[in-house]
């Protein structure tokens, strides 16, 4: 039986894009930029780790 790992990737990306769309619709862009500029310490570490996880998932190495 073939692996259906790509189905999970598509589902996760679909959910993430939907949530991003909801946030963009409801929050002004200036507020998002201020929040990202104010990240310090472990908040920044979590953001970088999530970004790395997404890149690994996109490259199929996860």
Q: Computed over its alpha carbons, how large is the radius of gyration of the chain?
A: 15
Write the pLDDT tens digit of every residue in 13-40. Answer: 778 888 888 877 887 878 878 887 888 8
Between 1 and 42, the more confident residue is: 42
Domain ranges of the chain: 5-59
CA distance 20 to 55: 17
End-to-end CA separation in angstroms for the chain: 20
For residue 41, which phi and psi values (nearest 5 degrees)? 60, -130
Query: What's the whole-model pTM score?
Result: 0.42
């Amino acid at each position: 039986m073939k692996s259906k790992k790509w189905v999970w990737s598509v589902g996760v990306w679909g959910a993430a894009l939907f949530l991003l769309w909801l946030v963009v619709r409801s929050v002004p862009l200036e507020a998002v930029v201020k929040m990202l500029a104010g990240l310090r310490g472990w908040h920044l570490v979590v953001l970088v780790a999530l970004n790395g996880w997404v890149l690994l998932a996109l490259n199929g190495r996860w």
